[in-house]
């Protein structure tokens, strides 16, 4: 039955074609396959993907082939590259108006510049006949938005069949962004009420557009039987059916994901990853009663085989000089080399990794804590060394160009909550494949954390000491990680989604600030930058400290040898305590 359902069949009801994007995050131009800025070499080798000009070409082609097809965006077109940093909603409005969108919902990042940044975008969408459907955000108390009227649902006739469209953004936008006086109702409850209203008005087929995240989307479709197809966003989830997808992408579920409901009906959930690398494409067949009977489709990779739309390229060219000039903006000064030559941040503690991790940590630690007894909402911060792409020179101005070269991916800085055992497991994975030749990107850089590894031990048993800063304390101090305790760590959504082989986090926030904006704000506060190597990470090989070719310390002085001896003594003590801890935990399990 399932295999038959995947083959679209012509029925007596509607055959609906939907194209969709989500979480484009201002990737106006083409990108690398990982979402970074394309170099001239990438362009020459034709390895770049995505970009709004390619999306426009493919959408026009498919709309011509399938009359009545809908093109939908599921939020977060704002924020993520220098295009947005410089031009804000102006560039988003300019391109979205010409891409052929029919319907959209808001994402949390659409509120990042407050109501003042959102209002002109919404007006531009109205002028371009792009309907932004808003089922759960109440603008009535916000002066800058109360006169902007967005429908809670719409009805559209496709091939003589009435289709209802509803749209919602995650309620946590109230704390994730800057919505002013906008109030947010529960997304599931709002969609349920609006869907029931549409059903009473005779609508038999309903498409929901949400920016709530894949797990929540599955809940919504499960609990709202009127919703037949949900086009989602927010979690940047890659869904795919069968093989043939790029090897750098791992599907997190089937495309579309089938949801079986208690009344015997089924609903479908789709999402198309992020940054415009793919164009979501799904076709659904309904019977006369409006029930889903079959479906087919998959995300379409927008590689160099898809020509870039010339008109869209001309629009982009009008704004390009402004962005180029802005990249030259000076944001600070570094008195020291912020190192990353030869991917050194994938092998040992690097001062650029310290700077970035400190920025993540400070972003959340500087906020007013949710508990007055906690001096910080997070214990520490970490990021994968593979996220750090370029050094920043010594005795030089730091420009936006430096920041974007160093951190080109536009990841979100989020908080994951995990127990000590899970945190220890992450650090084991950090050095699971430790190798000077391979320089794996999973090696972690840290703030508020101290770790000692012995890479001579068996993989999975290489963490000999792991400490984090306490939160419920008057004077912050490092404490040994307790497997049963709970810790909150700032990191990127790349890590929490399972990037670089890490386990996907089961408890993580989403929709945090963009990583490079956090770093820019921190550098402005700390300039001139003087980040150093502080002994946060120690890598041992047996009883010896690992020496990296080209490392800063190649010939230790007598003072450094004493420090090394002290470290070895500390290592022995920590290893003894660790073994003692394992023994007692093992006894508890017997």
| DSSP-derived secondary structure for 502-532 | PPPPSSB--S--BHHHHHHHHHHHHPSB---
Instruction: Name the burial class of residue 362, with classes exposed (0-12), middle (13-18) and buried (19+) by CB atoms within 10 angstroms of its CB.
Output: buried
**Tens-level pLDDT at each residue, the chain (590 residues):** 333 466 666 656 899 999 999 999 999 999 999 887 888 899 999 999 999 999 999 999 999 999 999 999 999 999 888 898 889 999 999 999 999 999 999 999 899 889 999 999 999 999 999 999 999 999 999 999 999 999 999 999 999 999 999 999 999 888 677 899 999 999 999 999 999 999 999 999 999 999 999 999 999 999 999 999 999 999 889 999 999 999 999 999 999 999 999 999 999 999 999 999 999 999 999 999 999 999 999 999 999 999 999 999 999 999 999 999 988 899 999 999 999 877 899 999 999 999 999 999 999 999 988 788 999 999 999 999 989 987 898 998 999 988 987 887 788 999 999 999 999 999 999 999 998 877 889 999 999 999 999 999 999 999 999 999 999 999 999 999 999 999 999 999 989 988 888 999 999 998 899 999 999 999 999 999 999 999 999 999 876 777 665 443 323 333 333 333 334 444 444 444 445 454 444 444 44
Fold exhibited by the domain 12-321:
Purple Acid Phosphatase; chain A, domain 2 (3.60.21)
CATH topology of 12-321 equal to that of 328-551? Answer: no
The pLDDT value recorded for residue 49 is: 98
List, in sequence order, every residue forming a beta bridge with 383; answer none if it has no partner.
445
Q: What is the pLDDT of residue 368?
A: 87
| DSSP for 437-486, written as a single string | TT--TTPEEEESEEEEEETTSPTTS-EEEEEEE-SSSSS--EEEPPTTSE
Q: Alpha carbon of 501 to those of 317, 466, 507: distances in Å?
A: 38, 20, 17
Contact 229, 18 (CB under 8 A): yes
Which pLDDT score is estimated for 11? Answer: 57
Question: CATH assignment of 328-551?
Answer: 3.90.780.10
Q: How many Cβ atoms from other residues are within 10 Å of residue 507's Cβ?
A: 13
Model confidence, pTM: 0.72
Residue 589: the pLDDT is 43
Q: Where are the domains of the chain?
A: 12-321, 328-551
Beta strands in 160-255 (DSSP E): 161-169, 183-184, 205-211, 227-231
Cα–Cα distance for residue pair 450/303, rounded to 1 Å: 42
Q: What is the DSSP letter of 253?
A: B
Contacts of 484 (CB under 8 A, 6+ apart): 419, 420, 421
CB 538 within 8 A of CB 563: no
- Secondary structure class of 297 (helix, strand, coil): strand
SS3 content of the chain, % helix, strand, coil (to 5): 35, 25, 45
3-state SS, residue 581 = helix
What pLDDT is attached to residue 340? 86
**What gap in Å lies between CA 443 and CA 572, rounded to an integer?**
23
Whether the bond into 359 is cis, omega within 30 of 0 = no
The two tokens of residue 343 are: 């991917």
């Amino acid at each position: 039955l399932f295999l038959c359902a995947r083959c679209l069949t012509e029925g007596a009801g509607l055959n609906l074609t939907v194209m969709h994007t989500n979480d484009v995050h201002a990737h106006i131009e083409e990108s690398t396959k990982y979402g970074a800025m394309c170099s001239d070499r990438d362009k020459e080798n034709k390895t770049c993907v995505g970009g709004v000009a390619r999306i426009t070409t493919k959408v026009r082609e498919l709309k011509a082939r399938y009359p009545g097809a809908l093109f939908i965006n599921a939020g977060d077109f704002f924020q993520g590259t220098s295009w947005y940093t410089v031009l804000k909603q102006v560039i988003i409005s300019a391109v979205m108006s010409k891409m052929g969108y029919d319907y959209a919902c808001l994402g949390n990042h659409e509120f990042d510049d407050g109501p003042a940044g959102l209002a002109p975008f919404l007006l531009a969408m109205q002028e371009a006949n792009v309907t932004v459907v808003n089922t759960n955000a109440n603008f009535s108390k916000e002066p800058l938005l109360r006169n902007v009227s967005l429908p809670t649902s719409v009805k559209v006739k496709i091939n003589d069949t009435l289709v209802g469209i509803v749209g919602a953004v995650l309620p946590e936008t109230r704390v994730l962004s800057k919505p002013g006086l906008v109030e947010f109702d529960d997304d599931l409850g709002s969609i349920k009420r609006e869907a029931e209203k549409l059903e009473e008005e005779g609508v038999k087929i309903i498409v929901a557009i949400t920016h709530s995240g894949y797990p929540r989307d599955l809940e919504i479709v499960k609990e709202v039987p009127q919703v037949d197809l949900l086009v989602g966003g927010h979690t940047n989830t890659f869904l795919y059916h069968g093989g043939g997808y790029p090897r750098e992408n791992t599907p997190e579920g089937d495309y579309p994901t089938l949801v079986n409901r208690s009344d015997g009906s089924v609903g479908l959930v789709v999402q198309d990853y992020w940054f415009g690398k793919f164009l979501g494409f799904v076709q659904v067949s309904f019977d006369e009663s409006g029930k889903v009977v079959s479906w087919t489709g998959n995300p379409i990779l927008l590689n160099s085989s898809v020509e870039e739309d010339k008109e869209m390229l001309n629009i982009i060219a009008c704004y390009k000089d402004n962005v180029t000039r802005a990249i030259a903006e000076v944001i600070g000064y570094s008195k020291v080399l912020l190192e990353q030559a030869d991917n050194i941040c994938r092998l040992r503690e690097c001062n650029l990794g310290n700077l970035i991790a400190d920025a993540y940590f400070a972003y959340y630690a500087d906020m007013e804590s949710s508990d007055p007894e906690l001096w910080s909402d997070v214990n520490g911060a970490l990021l994968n060394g593979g996220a750090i792409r370029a050094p920043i020179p010594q005795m030089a101005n730091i420009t936006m160009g430096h920041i974007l070269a160093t951190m080109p991916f536009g990841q979100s800085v989020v908080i994951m909550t995990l127990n000590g055992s899970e945190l220890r497991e992450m650090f084991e994975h950090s050095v699971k494949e430790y190798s000077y030749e391979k320089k794996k990107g999973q090696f972690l850089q840290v703030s508020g954390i101290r770790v000692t590894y012995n890479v001579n031990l068996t993989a999975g048993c290489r963490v000999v000491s792991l400490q984090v800063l306490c939160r419920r304390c008057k004077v912050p101090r490092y404490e040994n990680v307790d497997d049963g305790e709970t810790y909150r760590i700032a990191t990127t959504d790349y890590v929490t989604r399972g990037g670089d082989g890490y386990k996907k986090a089961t408890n993580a926030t989403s929709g945090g600030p963009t990583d490079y904006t956090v770093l820019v704000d921190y550098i402005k506060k700390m300039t001139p930058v003087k980040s150093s190597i502080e002994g946060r990470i120690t890598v041992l090989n047996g009883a010896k400290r690992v020496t990296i070719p080209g490392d800063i310390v190649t010939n230790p002085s007598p003072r450094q040898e004493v420090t090394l001896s002290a470290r070895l003594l500390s290592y022995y003590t920590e290893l003894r305590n660790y073994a003692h801890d394992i023994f007692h935990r093992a006894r508890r399990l017997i």
